[in-house]
């Protein structure tokens, strides 16, 4: 298969963002967008939609998609398992429990806080268990899956006891929603996600070595146990931030790393920036479809990402079966 350049993915991401800010209940042509930006006083209604609703939401979608993709890429490389991502490793399960606790508390502002805390608590348990029992990557993944089942069970039990209004609120958070972000969390992205991306890219060679296996990593001078826990912590922090913005959005961290490896190869020097661009573009497109398919009803973005992500993943598996290198 012919490889795709990072520049091509950048162009694709820009087009996805343009489509995201153009389409909705009120469609904006490129010329209209230009006029809104250059002559905002002439278009007060459109200015409000564009700057206060559409643009922040697209930016939120891009951040969440890119974050989940990078976290999935890290987990799949470090654990050397193509099925590793925030759901299977238990991080999302902890976040769901945090969301349920936040909703039960009755304070809207506590939901993203508890979601973040739940994610960190889950990865903390994973790291503690792994360090005490000296678990292998495969055992660590199984432990994460069990954590996910346990946390998700408690979350479902909690929301079944909620009143109808709070139950619907929980469903929205559990299925992903880019329209319920908190501006303060969104505005903190340059101080949180960008350093995490830079650190990940800075150590791209180490992720390449991890992909060769723990024994090979040890022979090349890397302590696989200590460094694995560091990378798990980074993936957990990124996922926790994304969940606090948009709730639980599935399949992005699983599908996009696979697609990126197929497009640009397995070298993390390329797969890291490619995952940022492809993941962000994918979720922006998914959210645009969620907002426009059955207007004025809005479908949870997690439904769209899961549907198209699942189809895309099956196609990738059929095309690369027996050929993909981890």
Span 85-100, pLDDT tens digits = 888 888 888 988 888 8
Minimal CA–CA distance to 162: which of 111, 88, 94?
Answer: 111
* The pLDDT value given to residue 19: 94
Radius of gyration, CA atoms only, the chain: 20
Distance CA 68, CA 250 (A): 9
Q: Specify burial of residue 305 (Cβ count, 10 A radius: 0-12, 13-18, 19+).
A: buried
Distance CA 168, CA 313 (A): 30
**Fold (topology level) of 6-320:** ABC transporter involved in vitamin B12 uptake, BtuC (1.10.3470)
DSSP letter for 85, please.
Answer: S
What percent of the chain is modeled with pLDDT above 70? 94
* The pLDDT value given to residue 313: 72
Domain ranges of the chain: 6-320
Cα dihedral across residues 308, 293, 7, 194: positive or negative: negative
Of the pLDDT bands very low, low, confident and very high (cuts 50, 70, 90), residue 15 is very high
For residue range 152-178, list pLDDT tens digits in order: 888 888 877 776 667 777 777 888 888
Q: What is the mean pLDDT of the chain?
A: 86
Place of tokens 């650190």: 199
CA count, 13 A, side-chain hemisphere, 115: 28
H or E stretch at 239: helix 224-246
Helix residue ranges per DSSP H, 79-213: 91-105, 110-133, 137-160, 164-175, 183-187, 189-202, 204-210
User: Helix 55-78 vs helix 268-292: angle between axes, to the nearest 10 degrees?
Assistant: 140
Of the pLDDT bands very low, low, confident and very high (cuts 50, 70, 90), residue 320 is low
């Amino acid at each position: 298969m012919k490889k795709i350049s990072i520049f091509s993915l950048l162009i694709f991401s820009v087009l996805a963002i343009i489509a995201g800010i153009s389409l909705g209940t009120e469609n904006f042509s490129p010329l209209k967008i230009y006029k809104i930006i250059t002559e905002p006083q002439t278009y007060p209604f459109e200015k409000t939609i564009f700057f206060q609703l559409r643009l922040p939401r697209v930016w939120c979608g891009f951040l969440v998609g890119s974050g989940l993709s990078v976290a999935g890429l890290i987990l799949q490389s470090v654990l050397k398992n193509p099925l590793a991502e925030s759901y299977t490793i238990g991080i999302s399960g902890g976040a769901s429990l945090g969301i349920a606790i936040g909703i039960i508390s009755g304070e809207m502002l506590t939901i993203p806080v508890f979601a973040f805390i739940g994610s960190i608590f889950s990865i903390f348990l994973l790291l503690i268990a792994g360090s005490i029992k000296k678990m292998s990557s495969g055992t660590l993944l199984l432990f994460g899956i069990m954590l996910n089942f346990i946390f998700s069970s408690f979350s479902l039990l909690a929301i079944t006891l909620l009143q109808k209004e709070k139950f619907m609120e929980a469903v929205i958070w559990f299925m992903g929603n880019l329209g319920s972000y908190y501006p303060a969390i969104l505005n903190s992205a340059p101080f949180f996600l960008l350093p995490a991306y830079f650190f990940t890219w800075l150590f791209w060679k180490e992720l390449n070595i991890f992909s060769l296996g723990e024994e090979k990593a040890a022979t090349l001078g890397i302590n696989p146990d200590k460094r694995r826990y560091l990378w798990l912590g980074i993936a957990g922090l990124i996922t926790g931030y994304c969940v606090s913005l948009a709730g639980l959005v599935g399949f992005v961290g699983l599908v996009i790393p696979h697609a990126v490896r197929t497009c640009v190869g397995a070298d993390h020097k390329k797969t890291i920036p490619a995952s940022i661009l492809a993941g962000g573009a994918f979720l922006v497109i998914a959210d645009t479809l969620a907002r426009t398919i059955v207007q004025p009803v809005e479908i949870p973005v997690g439904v769209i990402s899961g549907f198209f992500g699942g189809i895309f993943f099956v196609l990738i598996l059929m095309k690369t079966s027996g050929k993909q290198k981890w």
